[in-house]
Amino acid sequence: MKIHIDIDCFFVSAVRIKEPTLEHLPVAIGGRSDTKIFDTSAKNQTVNFVNSGSFVPTFYKTYEAKDDMDGFKDVDGKIRGILTTSSYEARSFGIKTAMTIREALQLCPHLIIKAPNMSLYQELSHQLHEFLCERIPLVEQASIDEFYGDLTGWVSEESLPSFLDTLRHEIKAKLKLPVSIGAAPTRYIAKLATTYAKPFGSKIINKYNLDTFVNPIKIESFAGIGKSMQMRLHDVQIFTLGDLRKRRGTVESWGPYAKDLYRRVNGESDAPIVTTHRRKSIGISRTFDPLFDRVELKRRVRVLARHLAFAILKLDVIPTVFHLSISYELNQSSHKNISLAEVFTEPKFNALCQELFLSADTQRRLQVIRLSINCSSFTRDSKKELSLIGFAEDQEMRVLTEKTQELREKYGINALRWASEM
């Protein structure tokens, strides 16, 4: 049997560990893009790579933590930001993820808004991963708050209910984290079962109750069925997973992806538990108030490039594919990417990002609201070989880049900045 473990309202559960008085109260975690990264007087920052081998995002943390609600207020007192998660008590007021903080406070004026604490989330996620590895032979971390495990040959089907119940309560007792667990013959059905085990419960699906469990569920609830596939299924009168299972020929005629999707829903397709995930890409992005000034935008590209270069050097990888995207007002967007197999140095990377920005900025009459830079296809994973053109000069610049990295490791990312950023 495969199991899927999901931490209930993880970010809220984490803050309740630090502040037990928040238990049973309507609590939400706010989210707002850290635009202070662009301040010329920005605080020293470092990068966090806890659990970097799993699907856990990289984030840049400041050494000074901001107050909760103050972090979501502009200088004029206007509240900004959205909710990243909320407690079950808050959800009873109609509060949902991605709702603006202002909308949430209108629904629940006594809602307690807390600032995110990524360092704490990473630490607790890592602790739970280690805890599970001591009790389950194969553990895969799928995200910061969810894990898969393989109990085949480890726990008998008769012992499964007591094993899951004991595991849940052990996690709650030792780590103070409430988790829900779904168990099924495949990881895809196990993940679906977890949804119906919440909060702080467990649900077991086997060959005897698979039909009665799966069939009534709406197709939107199954991971892997996106909006475009939902629309396609609705067009042929498929609204539930039971409907989908009855229409094998129709679904499989749509191609390999649809064919595999059918097999996942039917409990026929599975994937092995992968205990380690090597990072294949790394990126940084920021959303900000609409901005037209191209000189300022280029400066912000330099700031993002400097932070991303620090993370790349800390990972000790050489990316060969570089991507920059721009989001404009009016839901417009543009992007540009380039492949380059050369020694990675910060000056070259900075120049490359400027070049990508100039090429990607195709809507110059519009204001920009978001900048994103992503690097992928590391030389350890790709088949690309580094170019020998200018290799000696690049090596000299690499030495200088590494010396700069040492200073930033010691004093923070902002210890050394480009003059054009000031």
**In terms of DSSP bridges, do strands 202-204 and 179-184 run parallel, antiparallel, or are they unpaired?**
parallel
Structural contact between residues 406 and 305, judged by C-beta atoms closer than 8 angstroms: no
Q: Report whether 94 contacts 20 (CB < 8 A).
A: no
Catalytic residue among 89, 140, 146, 342: 146
Beta bridge partners of 337: 323
- The CA distance from 23 to 238, in Å, is 41
Measure the CA–CA gap between 147 and 133, rounded to whole angstroms: 11
146 is catalytic: yes
Question: Cα–Cα distances in Å, from 88 out to 10, 124, 145?
Answer: 11, 20, 17
| CA distance from start to end of the chain | 57
Amino acid identity, residue 43? K
- Separation between Cα atoms, residue 16 and residue 13, nearest integer Å: 5
- Round to whole Å and give the CA distance between 228 and 381: 31
**Token duo for residue 70:** 């103050």
Cα(227)–Cα(225) distance, rounded to whole angstroms? 7
d(CA 181, CA 190): 8
Q: Which pair of structure tokens corresponds to residue 206?
A: 């086997």
User: Which residues face 7 on adjacent strands?
Assistant: 179
Please name which of 225, 370, 204 lies closest in space to residue 287, comparing C-alpha atoms. 370
Angstrom distance (rounded) from CA 382 to CA 379: 5
Bridging pattern class, strands 45-48 and 112-114: unpaired
Q: State the catalytic residues.
A: 146
